[in-house]
Structure 1
Amino acid sequence: MSPGILQHRIAEHFYQSLAIQDFQKALETPGKSLGQQGVNALLLAALLLNMIAFTLPHQDNGAEDDPKSSWVFSFREDRLGWLALQAGLRPLSISLSPYLDKTVAFLDPIMFGHGKAGWREIRKFQSLSIVPESWIREFKLKNESIGCKSNNADQNEIFGPAMIALAHLRSIHSQQSTILFNWVFLIKIHGDLKYLLYNRDERALWLLGYWLGLMCRYDGVWWCERRARRDYEAVRIRLHELHLSERAGVDGLYWKDIMQELEDAPALTGREI
Protein backbone atom coordinates (compact mmCIF):
# COMPACT_ATOMS: atom_id res chain seq x y z
CA MET A 1 0.00 0.00 0.00
CA SER A 2 1.18 3.49 -0.80
CA PRO A 3 1.34 5.86 2.21
CA GLY A 4 0.68 8.76 -0.15
CA ILE A 5 -2.85 7.53 -0.94
CA LEU A 6 -5.40 8.44 1.72
CA GLN A 7 -7.52 5.31 1.26
CA HIS A 8 -4.46 3.13 1.74
CA ARG A 9 -3.54 4.93 4.96
CA ILE A 10 -7.08 4.50 6.30
CA ALA A 11 -6.99 0.77 5.53
CA GLU A 12 -3.56 0.46 7.11
CA HIS A 13 -4.68 2.16 10.33
CA PHE A 14 -7.82 0.01 10.45
CA TYR A 15 -5.90 -3.26 10.27
CA GLN A 16 -3.31 -1.97 12.71
CA SER A 17 -6.05 -1.15 15.21
CA LEU A 18 -7.50 -4.67 14.87
CA ALA A 19 -4.08 -6.21 15.43
CA ILE A 20 -3.46 -4.03 18.49
CA GLN A 21 -6.87 -4.92 19.95
CA ASP A 22 -6.07 -8.63 19.67
CA PHE A 23 -2.62 -7.97 21.11
CA GLN A 24 -4.14 -6.15 24.09
CA LYS A 25 -6.45 -9.10 24.77
CA ALA A 26 -3.45 -11.42 24.80
CA LEU A 27 -1.60 -9.07 27.16
CA GLU A 28 -4.48 -9.28 29.62
CA THR A 29 -4.29 -13.08 29.66
CA PRO A 30 -2.17 -14.56 32.49
CA GLY A 31 0.96 -16.39 31.40
CA LYS A 32 -0.29 -19.63 32.93
CA SER A 33 -3.38 -19.46 30.74
CA LEU A 34 -1.35 -18.69 27.64
CA GLY A 35 1.10 -21.53 28.15
CA GLN A 36 4.43 -21.78 26.35
CA GLN A 37 2.93 -21.71 22.85
CA GLY A 38 0.77 -18.73 23.70
CA VAL A 39 3.74 -16.85 25.14
CA ASN A 40 5.75 -17.64 22.01
CA ALA A 41 2.97 -16.23 19.84
CA LEU A 42 2.55 -13.17 22.08
CA LEU A 43 6.22 -12.19 21.94
CA LEU A 44 6.41 -12.82 18.21
CA ALA A 45 3.39 -10.55 17.75
CA ALA A 46 5.02 -7.94 19.99
CA LEU A 47 8.13 -7.90 17.82
CA LEU A 48 6.16 -7.60 14.58
CA LEU A 49 3.98 -4.80 15.97
CA ASN A 50 7.12 -3.03 17.15
CA MET A 51 8.44 -2.99 13.60
CA ILE A 52 5.22 -1.39 12.37
CA ALA A 53 5.22 1.15 15.20
CA PHE A 54 8.82 2.07 14.43
CA THR A 55 8.07 3.11 10.85
CA LEU A 56 7.96 6.83 10.16
CA PRO A 57 4.36 8.05 9.60
CA HIS A 58 3.63 9.80 6.33
CA GLN A 59 2.95 13.54 6.43
CA ASP A 60 1.08 15.31 3.65
CA ASN A 61 3.66 18.11 3.54
CA GLY A 62 6.50 15.62 3.10
CA ALA A 63 8.33 16.96 6.15
CA GLU A 64 8.58 13.65 7.99
CA ASP A 65 12.26 13.21 7.05
CA ASP A 66 13.27 16.63 8.40
CA PRO A 67 15.18 16.22 11.71
CA LYS A 68 13.38 19.28 13.03
CA SER A 69 10.09 17.36 12.74
CA SER A 70 11.43 14.71 15.13
CA TRP A 71 10.04 14.14 18.61
CA VAL A 72 13.41 15.44 19.85
CA PHE A 73 12.25 19.00 19.09
CA SER A 74 8.55 18.49 19.68
CA PHE A 75 6.57 19.81 22.65
CA ARG A 76 3.56 17.57 22.07
CA GLU A 77 2.60 15.52 25.10
CA ASP A 78 2.41 12.39 22.94
CA ARG A 79 5.80 12.95 21.30
CA LEU A 80 7.12 9.60 22.54
CA GLY A 81 4.01 7.67 21.58
CA TRP A 82 6.00 5.79 18.94
CA LEU A 83 8.18 4.39 21.75
CA ALA A 84 5.29 3.04 23.82
CA LEU A 85 5.27 -0.42 22.25
CA GLN A 86 9.07 -0.64 22.21
CA ALA A 87 9.42 0.35 25.85
CA GLY A 88 6.73 -2.18 26.70
CA LEU A 89 8.98 -5.05 25.65
CA ARG A 90 10.92 -4.85 28.90
CA PRO A 91 8.03 -5.25 31.39
CA LEU A 92 6.46 -7.82 29.07
CA SER A 93 9.61 -9.94 29.00
CA ILE A 94 9.99 -9.62 32.78
CA SER A 95 6.41 -10.72 33.39
CA LEU A 96 6.92 -13.76 31.16
CA SER A 97 10.39 -14.61 32.48
CA PRO A 98 9.50 -18.25 33.42
CA TYR A 99 8.84 -18.91 29.73
CA LEU A 100 11.53 -16.70 28.25
CA ASP A 101 14.34 -19.20 27.68
CA LYS A 102 12.14 -21.46 25.58
CA THR A 103 10.59 -18.48 23.80
CA VAL A 104 14.00 -17.13 22.82
CA ALA A 105 14.95 -20.59 21.55
CA PHE A 106 11.71 -20.56 19.52
CA LEU A 107 12.25 -17.06 18.11
CA ASP A 108 15.95 -17.30 17.24
CA PRO A 109 15.54 -19.58 14.18
CA ILE A 110 12.64 -17.44 12.94
CA MET A 111 14.50 -14.16 13.28
CA PHE A 112 18.07 -15.22 12.54
CA GLY A 113 17.94 -18.57 10.74
CA HIS A 114 18.66 -22.11 11.86
CA GLY A 115 21.89 -22.69 13.69
CA LYS A 116 22.18 -19.07 14.86
CA ALA A 117 22.30 -18.30 18.58
CA GLY A 118 20.58 -14.94 18.12
CA TRP A 119 19.31 -13.33 21.30
CA ARG A 120 20.60 -16.25 23.36
CA GLU A 121 24.10 -14.97 22.60
CA ILE A 122 23.37 -11.40 23.68
CA ARG A 123 21.65 -12.47 26.88
CA LYS A 124 24.99 -13.80 28.13
CA PHE A 125 26.31 -10.26 28.56
CA GLN A 126 25.42 -8.92 32.00
CA SER A 127 28.59 -7.12 33.08
CA LEU A 128 29.74 -3.52 32.61
CA SER A 129 33.18 -4.89 31.76
CA ILE A 130 32.42 -4.56 28.03
CA VAL A 131 31.25 -0.93 28.38
CA PRO A 132 33.82 1.79 27.51
CA GLU A 133 35.21 3.61 30.52
CA SER A 134 34.23 7.03 29.16
CA TRP A 135 30.58 5.92 29.07
CA ILE A 136 30.69 4.63 32.62
CA ARG A 137 32.28 7.79 33.97
CA GLU A 138 30.02 10.24 32.13
CA PHE A 139 26.89 8.33 33.14
CA LYS A 140 28.26 8.07 36.69
CA LEU A 141 27.77 4.34 36.95
CA LYS A 142 29.25 2.28 39.74
CA ASN A 143 32.05 0.03 38.54
CA GLU A 144 34.65 -0.96 41.10
CA SER A 145 37.00 -2.43 38.48
CA ILE A 146 37.89 1.06 37.22
CA GLY A 147 37.45 2.77 40.57
CA CYS A 148 34.25 4.48 39.53
CA LYS A 149 31.75 4.97 42.34
CA SER A 150 28.26 6.39 42.21
CA ASN A 151 26.22 8.03 44.92
CA ASN A 152 23.07 6.94 43.15
CA ALA A 153 22.67 3.19 42.71
CA ASP A 154 19.65 3.80 40.50
CA GLN A 155 21.97 5.04 37.72
CA ASN A 156 23.20 1.50 37.16
CA GLU A 157 19.67 0.15 37.03
CA ILE A 158 18.44 2.84 34.64
CA PHE A 159 21.40 3.05 32.27
CA GLY A 160 23.47 -0.08 32.88
CA PRO A 161 21.51 -2.77 30.98
CA ALA A 162 21.00 -0.52 27.94
CA MET A 163 24.69 0.42 27.88
CA ILE A 164 25.77 -3.22 28.08
CA ALA A 165 23.48 -3.99 25.14
CA LEU A 166 24.91 -1.08 23.12
CA ALA A 167 28.49 -2.08 23.87
CA HIS A 168 27.79 -5.52 22.45
CA LEU A 169 25.66 -4.36 19.52
CA ARG A 170 28.33 -2.02 18.21
CA SER A 171 30.66 -4.99 17.79
CA ILE A 172 28.21 -6.85 15.53
CA HIS A 173 28.69 -6.78 11.77
CA SER A 174 25.86 -4.79 10.20
CA GLN A 175 24.50 -7.25 7.67
CA GLN A 176 20.76 -7.46 7.09
CA SER A 177 20.43 -10.79 8.89
CA THR A 178 21.64 -9.25 12.16
CA ILE A 179 19.35 -6.22 12.34
CA LEU A 180 16.99 -7.77 14.87
CA PHE A 181 19.86 -8.21 17.31
CA ASN A 182 19.44 -4.49 17.86
CA TRP A 183 15.95 -5.03 19.28
CA VAL A 184 17.57 -6.23 22.50
CA PHE A 185 18.34 -2.58 23.31
CA LEU A 186 14.62 -1.80 23.40
CA ILE A 187 14.07 -4.63 25.87
CA LYS A 188 16.56 -2.86 28.15
CA ILE A 189 14.73 0.49 28.20
CA HIS A 190 13.96 1.19 31.84
CA GLY A 191 10.76 3.09 32.63
CA ASP A 192 12.79 5.95 34.10
CA LEU A 193 14.87 6.10 30.93
CA LYS A 194 11.74 6.79 28.92
CA TYR A 195 10.87 9.56 31.40
CA LEU A 196 14.34 11.07 30.92
CA LEU A 197 13.92 10.91 27.14
CA TYR A 198 10.61 12.72 27.44
CA ASN A 199 12.38 15.51 29.31
CA ARG A 200 15.27 15.51 26.82
CA ASP A 201 17.93 14.53 29.35
CA GLU A 202 21.24 14.68 27.48
CA ARG A 203 22.43 11.28 28.71
CA ALA A 204 19.20 9.56 27.70
CA LEU A 205 19.29 11.31 24.31
CA TRP A 206 22.87 10.22 23.73
CA LEU A 207 22.03 6.63 24.64
CA LEU A 208 19.09 6.40 22.25
CA GLY A 209 20.95 8.45 19.64
CA TYR A 210 23.87 6.04 19.69
CA TRP A 211 21.50 3.13 19.16
CA LEU A 212 19.82 4.99 16.29
CA GLY A 213 23.28 5.58 14.82
CA LEU A 214 23.93 1.84 14.92
CA MET A 215 20.57 1.28 13.21
CA CYS A 216 21.63 3.68 10.43
CA ARG A 217 24.15 1.05 9.34
CA TYR A 218 21.33 -1.03 7.84
CA ASP A 219 20.52 0.49 4.46
CA GLY A 220 17.19 -0.01 2.76
CA VAL A 221 15.27 -1.67 5.61
CA TRP A 222 11.70 -0.45 5.13
CA TRP A 223 10.60 -0.34 8.75
CA CYS A 224 13.57 1.43 10.32
CA GLU A 225 15.81 3.32 7.88
CA ARG A 226 13.94 6.61 7.67
CA ARG A 227 13.14 6.95 11.39
CA ALA A 228 16.63 5.91 12.41
CA ARG A 229 18.28 8.46 10.12
CA ARG A 230 15.91 11.31 10.96
CA ASP A 231 15.97 10.85 14.72
CA TYR A 232 19.71 10.16 14.80
CA GLU A 233 20.32 13.49 13.08
CA ALA A 234 17.85 15.19 15.42
CA VAL A 235 19.68 13.88 18.49
CA ARG A 236 23.02 14.99 17.04
CA ILE A 237 21.70 18.49 16.40
CA ARG A 238 20.14 18.77 19.85
CA LEU A 239 23.24 17.59 21.71
CA HIS A 240 25.55 19.84 19.68
CA GLU A 241 23.32 22.79 20.56
CA LEU A 242 24.03 22.09 24.24
CA HIS A 243 27.83 22.45 23.76
CA LEU A 244 28.40 19.54 26.13
CA SER A 245 32.07 19.13 25.25
CA GLU A 246 32.68 22.70 26.44
CA ARG A 247 31.67 21.94 30.00
CA ALA A 248 34.30 22.57 32.63
CA GLY A 249 36.66 19.88 33.86
CA VAL A 250 36.58 16.18 33.12
CA ASP A 251 32.85 16.29 32.38
CA GLY A 252 33.57 18.21 29.19
CA LEU A 253 36.36 15.81 28.25
CA TYR A 254 34.12 12.77 28.67
CA TRP A 255 31.41 14.43 26.61
CA LYS A 256 33.92 15.21 23.89
CA ASP A 257 34.85 11.53 23.73
CA ILE A 258 31.34 10.15 23.66
CA MET A 259 30.10 12.78 21.21
CA GLN A 260 32.78 11.62 18.80
CA GLU A 261 31.56 8.07 19.33
CA LEU A 262 28.05 9.24 18.50
CA GLU A 263 29.36 10.71 15.24
CA ASP A 264 31.12 7.45 14.39
CA ALA A 265 28.24 5.09 15.23
CA PRO A 266 26.72 4.83 11.70
CA ALA A 267 30.09 3.89 10.23
CA LEU A 268 31.08 1.18 12.72
CA THR A 269 31.92 -2.22 11.33
CA GLY A 270 31.78 -5.21 13.63
CA ARG A 271 32.57 -8.88 13.65
CA GLU A 272 30.65 -11.72 12.07
CA ILE A 273 28.51 -13.75 14.47
Structure 2
Amino acid sequence: MTAPNTVALATSAAYPELAPDDRLLLAPLARRDVRAEPVVWDDPTVRWTDYGAVVVRSCWDYHLRADAFARWIDRLEGAGVPLWNPPRVLRWNADKRYLRDLARDGVPTVPTRWADGSTRESLAELLASSGWADAVVKPAVSASAFRTWRVSARDALAHESEFRATLAAGPALVQPFVRAVVGEGEWSLVFLGGAYSHAALKRPRAGDFRVQQEHGGSSVRAEPAASVIAQAASIVARYAADCLYARVDGVVDDGAFRLMELELVEPHLFLEMRADAAELLADGIARVVSRGAAENAEKTK
Protein backbone atom coordinates (compact mmCIF):
# COMPACT_ATOMS: atom_id res chain seq x y z
CA MET A 1 0.00 0.00 0.00
CA THR A 2 1.34 3.41 -0.95
CA ALA A 3 2.48 5.61 1.91
CA PRO A 4 1.63 9.06 0.52
CA ASN A 5 4.21 11.05 2.49
CA THR A 6 7.17 8.89 1.52
CA VAL A 7 9.64 9.45 -1.28
CA ALA A 8 12.29 7.13 -2.65
CA LEU A 9 15.50 8.91 -3.55
CA ALA A 10 16.72 6.57 -6.27
CA THR A 11 20.41 5.82 -6.11
CA SER A 12 22.91 3.21 -7.31
CA ALA A 13 24.52 0.25 -5.56
CA ALA A 14 27.77 2.21 -5.28
CA TYR A 15 25.94 4.87 -3.22
CA PRO A 16 23.36 2.89 -1.22
CA GLU A 17 23.01 5.73 1.30
CA LEU A 18 23.12 8.41 -1.43
CA ALA A 19 26.02 10.59 -2.51
CA PRO A 20 27.02 13.12 0.18
CA ASP A 21 25.41 16.01 -1.71
CA ASP A 22 22.07 14.22 -1.93
CA ARG A 23 22.08 13.32 1.76
CA LEU A 24 21.64 17.03 2.43
CA LEU A 25 18.00 16.53 1.37
CA LEU A 26 17.06 14.16 4.19
CA ALA A 27 16.72 16.67 7.04
CA PRO A 28 14.83 19.32 5.02
CA LEU A 29 12.39 16.67 3.79
CA ALA A 30 11.84 15.41 7.34
CA ARG A 31 11.02 18.96 8.42
CA ARG A 32 8.32 18.94 5.73
CA ASP A 33 6.86 15.66 7.07
CA VAL A 34 8.19 13.74 4.07
CA ARG A 35 9.94 10.48 4.90
CA ALA A 36 12.74 10.03 2.40
CA GLU A 37 14.59 6.77 1.85
CA PRO A 38 17.61 6.01 -0.33
CA VAL A 39 16.60 3.13 -2.61
CA VAL A 40 18.85 1.40 -5.17
CA TRP A 41 17.11 1.70 -8.53
CA ASP A 42 17.89 -1.82 -9.77
CA ASP A 43 17.20 -3.68 -6.51
CA PRO A 44 14.68 -6.35 -7.59
CA THR A 45 13.18 -6.61 -4.09
CA VAL A 46 11.92 -3.02 -3.96
CA ARG A 47 8.16 -2.40 -4.09
CA TRP A 48 8.12 0.97 -5.79
CA THR A 49 4.36 1.30 -5.37
CA ASP A 50 4.99 1.67 -1.63
CA TYR A 51 6.27 5.20 -2.26
CA GLY A 52 4.36 8.36 -2.87
CA ALA A 53 7.00 9.45 -5.40
CA VAL A 54 10.41 8.47 -6.72
CA VAL A 55 13.09 11.10 -7.35
CA VAL A 56 16.10 10.06 -9.45
CA ARG A 57 19.30 11.13 -7.74
CA SER A 58 22.58 9.19 -7.47
CA CYS A 59 21.82 6.69 -10.27
CA TRP A 60 25.29 7.21 -11.65
CA ASP A 61 25.53 3.76 -13.22
CA TYR A 62 22.44 4.00 -15.44
CA HIS A 63 24.56 4.34 -18.58
CA LEU A 64 26.15 0.94 -17.89
CA ARG A 65 22.72 -0.71 -18.07
CA ALA A 66 20.80 1.69 -20.25
CA ASP A 67 18.20 -0.86 -21.40
CA ALA A 68 17.49 -1.95 -17.82
CA PHE A 69 17.19 1.69 -16.74
CA ALA A 70 14.72 2.36 -19.54
CA ARG A 71 12.66 -0.67 -18.50
CA TRP A 72 12.70 0.56 -14.90
CA ILE A 73 11.28 3.90 -16.00
CA ASP A 74 8.60 2.08 -17.99
CA ARG A 75 7.66 -0.12 -15.01
CA LEU A 76 7.25 2.81 -12.64
CA GLU A 77 5.25 4.79 -15.16
CA GLY A 78 3.06 1.79 -15.91
CA ALA A 79 2.42 1.26 -12.19
CA GLY A 80 1.39 4.89 -11.79
CA VAL A 81 4.30 5.77 -9.49
CA PRO A 82 5.08 9.51 -9.75
CA LEU A 83 8.64 9.73 -11.11
CA TRP A 84 10.84 12.82 -11.18
CA ASN A 85 12.05 14.10 -13.39
CA PRO A 86 9.10 13.00 -15.59
CA PRO A 87 9.53 9.72 -17.50
CA ARG A 88 9.39 11.33 -20.96
CA VAL A 89 12.17 13.75 -19.92
CA LEU A 90 14.33 10.93 -18.53
CA ARG A 91 13.97 8.88 -21.71
CA TRP A 92 14.78 11.82 -23.96
CA ASN A 93 17.70 13.12 -21.92
CA ALA A 94 19.40 9.77 -21.21
CA ASP A 95 20.78 9.69 -24.77
CA LYS A 96 22.97 12.59 -25.87
CA ARG A 97 21.28 12.58 -29.24
CA TYR A 98 18.81 14.97 -27.60
CA LEU A 99 21.44 17.59 -28.45
CA ARG A 100 20.36 17.31 -32.07
CA ASP A 101 16.92 18.60 -31.06
CA LEU A 102 18.43 21.60 -29.30
CA ALA A 103 20.78 22.41 -32.17
CA ARG A 104 17.90 22.11 -34.64
CA ASP A 105 15.94 24.55 -32.48
CA GLY A 106 18.75 27.09 -32.67
CA VAL A 107 20.28 26.60 -29.21
CA PRO A 108 24.02 27.44 -29.45
CA THR A 109 25.74 24.09 -28.88
CA VAL A 110 29.19 22.66 -29.49
CA PRO A 111 29.43 21.47 -33.13
CA THR A 112 28.85 17.73 -33.25
CA ARG A 113 29.29 14.89 -35.73
CA TRP A 114 27.25 11.77 -35.04
CA ALA A 115 28.47 8.27 -35.78
CA ASP A 116 27.38 4.67 -35.31
CA GLY A 117 28.22 1.19 -36.51
CA SER A 118 27.07 2.04 -40.04
CA THR A 119 29.48 5.00 -40.35
CA ARG A 120 31.91 4.39 -43.20
CA GLU A 121 33.98 7.51 -42.72
CA SER A 122 37.14 6.87 -40.72
CA LEU A 123 37.92 9.00 -37.69
CA ALA A 124 40.72 10.67 -39.63
CA GLU A 125 38.37 11.44 -42.52
CA LEU A 126 35.70 12.72 -40.16
CA LEU A 127 38.10 15.14 -38.48
CA ALA A 128 39.52 16.26 -41.82
CA SER A 129 36.08 16.94 -43.32
CA SER A 130 35.11 18.85 -40.17
CA GLY A 131 38.32 20.87 -40.08
CA TRP A 132 39.04 19.88 -36.47
CA ALA A 133 42.66 19.51 -35.38
CA ASP A 134 41.70 18.31 -31.91
CA ALA A 135 38.53 16.48 -30.91
CA VAL A 136 36.71 14.53 -28.20
CA VAL A 137 34.88 11.25 -28.77
CA LYS A 138 32.15 10.11 -26.38
CA PRO A 139 29.32 7.54 -26.40
CA ALA A 140 25.80 8.83 -26.90
CA VAL A 141 24.80 7.15 -23.64
CA SER A 142 27.42 8.08 -21.10
CA ALA A 143 27.96 9.72 -17.72
CA SER A 144 30.97 10.99 -15.77
CA ALA A 145 33.11 11.05 -18.93
CA PHE A 146 32.67 7.29 -19.34
CA ARG A 147 34.71 6.09 -22.35
CA THR A 148 35.30 9.70 -23.36
CA TRP A 149 38.64 10.33 -25.02
CA ARG A 150 40.55 13.04 -26.80
CA VAL A 151 42.25 12.65 -30.17
CA SER A 152 44.20 14.89 -32.54
CA ALA A 153 43.86 14.84 -36.31
CA ARG A 154 47.50 13.81 -36.72
CA ASP A 155 46.98 10.75 -34.48
CA ALA A 156 43.51 9.79 -35.69
CA LEU A 157 44.67 6.90 -37.89
CA ALA A 158 46.33 5.25 -34.91
CA HIS A 159 43.04 5.48 -32.97
CA GLU A 160 40.78 4.01 -35.65
CA SER A 161 40.42 0.69 -33.81
CA GLU A 162 39.44 2.55 -30.62
CA PHE A 163 36.92 4.55 -32.63
CA ARG A 164 35.42 1.39 -34.10
CA ALA A 165 35.25 -0.23 -30.67
CA THR A 166 33.34 2.80 -29.39
CA LEU A 167 30.86 2.56 -32.27
CA ALA A 168 30.47 -1.18 -31.80
CA ALA A 169 29.15 -0.45 -28.30
CA GLY A 170 26.62 2.08 -29.55
CA PRO A 171 26.19 5.48 -31.22
CA ALA A 172 28.77 8.15 -30.43
CA LEU A 173 29.43 11.81 -30.98
CA VAL A 174 32.59 13.58 -32.04
CA GLN A 175 33.10 17.22 -31.10
CA PRO A 176 35.93 19.70 -31.48
CA PHE A 177 37.97 20.05 -28.31
CA VAL A 178 36.81 23.26 -26.61
CA ARG A 179 39.90 24.92 -25.16
CA ALA A 180 37.81 27.13 -22.89
CA VAL A 181 37.27 24.04 -20.72
CA VAL A 182 40.92 24.07 -19.66
CA GLY A 183 41.02 27.88 -19.64
CA GLU A 184 38.10 29.58 -17.92
CA GLY A 185 36.49 26.22 -17.17
CA GLU A 186 33.08 24.66 -17.71
CA TRP A 187 29.99 26.18 -16.10
CA SER A 188 27.26 24.16 -14.40
CA LEU A 189 24.16 26.28 -13.73
CA VAL A 190 21.69 24.62 -11.36
CA PHE A 191 17.94 25.21 -11.63
CA LEU A 192 15.50 24.05 -8.96
CA GLY A 193 11.80 24.10 -9.76
CA GLY A 194 12.61 25.94 -12.99
CA ALA A 195 14.35 28.84 -11.24
CA TYR A 196 18.07 29.57 -11.28
CA SER A 197 19.67 28.69 -7.96
CA HIS A 198 23.47 28.73 -8.18
CA ALA A 199 26.41 27.77 -10.36
CA ALA A 200 29.69 25.89 -10.19
CA LEU A 201 32.76 26.51 -12.29
CA LYS A 202 34.55 23.24 -13.04
CA ARG A 203 38.13 22.76 -14.21
CA PRO A 204 40.16 19.68 -15.10
CA ARG A 205 43.37 18.76 -13.37
CA ALA A 206 46.62 19.69 -15.11
CA GLY A 207 47.18 17.63 -18.23
CA ASP A 208 43.59 16.39 -18.47
CA PHE A 209 40.40 17.67 -20.12
CA ARG A 210 37.77 15.95 -17.94
CA VAL A 211 36.26 18.19 -15.28
CA GLN A 212 34.58 15.44 -13.24
CA GLN A 213 35.82 14.96 -9.67
CA GLU A 214 36.48 11.25 -10.21
CA HIS A 215 39.01 12.24 -12.88
CA GLY A 216 40.76 14.79 -10.70
CA GLY A 217 38.66 17.79 -11.68
CA SER A 218 37.71 20.53 -9.24
CA SER A 219 34.75 22.83 -8.82
CA VAL A 220 34.06 26.09 -7.00
CA ARG A 221 30.97 28.19 -6.57
CA ALA A 222 31.02 31.14 -8.94
CA GLU A 223 28.53 33.49 -10.53
CA PRO A 224 28.36 33.59 -14.33
CA ALA A 225 27.48 36.69 -16.28
CA ALA A 226 23.84 37.73 -16.28
CA SER A 227 23.67 36.98 -20.01
CA VAL A 228 24.79 33.40 -19.39
CA ILE A 229 22.17 32.91 -16.67
CA ALA A 230 19.51 34.33 -18.97
CA GLN A 231 20.51 32.01 -21.80
CA ALA A 232 20.53 28.99 -19.51
CA ALA A 233 17.14 30.01 -18.10
CA SER A 234 15.66 30.16 -21.59
CA ILE A 235 16.89 26.62 -22.27
CA VAL A 236 15.36 25.32 -19.04
CA ALA A 237 12.08 27.14 -19.72
CA ARG A 238 11.84 25.54 -23.14
CA TYR A 239 12.92 21.97 -22.37
CA ALA A 240 12.65 21.42 -18.60
CA ALA A 241 9.91 23.72 -17.32
CA ASP A 242 8.17 20.87 -15.49
CA CYS A 243 11.32 19.38 -13.95
CA LEU A 244 12.24 19.36 -10.26
CA TYR A 245 15.86 19.99 -11.16
CA ALA A 246 18.00 20.78 -14.16
CA ARG A 247 21.65 21.54 -14.76
CA VAL A 248 22.87 23.51 -17.74
CA ASP A 249 26.52 22.80 -18.59
CA GLY A 250 28.42 24.93 -21.04
CA VAL A 251 31.36 27.17 -21.80
CA VAL A 252 31.89 30.79 -22.70
CA ASP A 253 33.72 30.48 -26.01
CA ASP A 254 34.75 33.63 -27.91
CA GLY A 255 32.43 35.64 -25.69
CA ALA A 256 29.37 33.47 -26.34
CA PHE A 257 27.85 30.75 -24.17
CA ARG A 258 27.68 27.32 -25.80
CA LEU A 259 25.70 24.47 -24.31
CA MET A 260 27.61 21.25 -23.74
CA GLU A 261 24.94 19.30 -21.82
CA LEU A 262 21.43 19.79 -20.47
CA GLU A 263 21.49 17.41 -17.50
CA LEU A 264 18.01 16.23 -16.49
CA VAL A 265 18.52 12.60 -15.39
CA GLU A 266 20.83 12.38 -12.37
CA PRO A 267 23.10 15.44 -12.25
CA HIS A 268 25.20 16.40 -9.27
CA LEU A 269 23.42 19.55 -8.14
CA PHE A 270 26.18 21.07 -5.97
CA LEU A 271 23.64 21.55 -3.17
CA GLU A 272 26.49 22.16 -0.76
CA MET A 273 27.38 25.36 -2.61
CA ARG A 274 24.26 27.27 -1.57
CA ALA A 275 23.10 27.25 2.04
CA ASP A 276 19.41 26.86 1.24
CA ALA A 277 19.64 24.84 -1.98
CA ALA A 278 18.59 21.59 -0.28
CA GLU A 279 15.66 23.44 1.28
CA LEU A 280 14.56 24.69 -2.14
CA LEU A 281 14.72 21.23 -3.69
CA ALA A 282 12.96 19.75 -0.66
CA ASP A 283 10.15 22.28 -1.21
CA GLY A 284 9.75 21.01 -4.75
CA ILE A 285 9.80 17.36 -3.71
CA ALA A 286 7.26 18.00 -0.96
CA ARG A 287 4.97 19.66 -3.49
CA VAL A 288 5.02 16.74 -5.92
CA VAL A 289 4.53 14.25 -3.08
CA SER A 290 1.53 16.24 -1.84
CA ARG A 291 0.12 16.53 -5.34
CA GLY A 292 0.52 12.79 -5.89
CA ALA A 293 -1.22 12.05 -2.60
CA ALA A 294 -4.12 14.28 -3.57
CA GLU A 295 -4.44 12.61 -6.97
CA ASN A 296 -4.42 9.15 -5.38
CA ALA A 297 -7.05 10.19 -2.87
CA GLU A 298 -9.24 11.46 -5.70
CA LYS A 299 -8.91 8.13 -7.54
CA THR A 300 -10.06 6.15 -4.52
CA LYS A 301 -13.23 8.20 -3.95
**TM-score, length-normalised on structure 1?**
0.32
Report which of the two has the higher share of strand. 2
**TM-score, length-normalised on structure 2?**
0.30
Greater gyration radius = 2
Report which of the two has the higher share of helix. 1
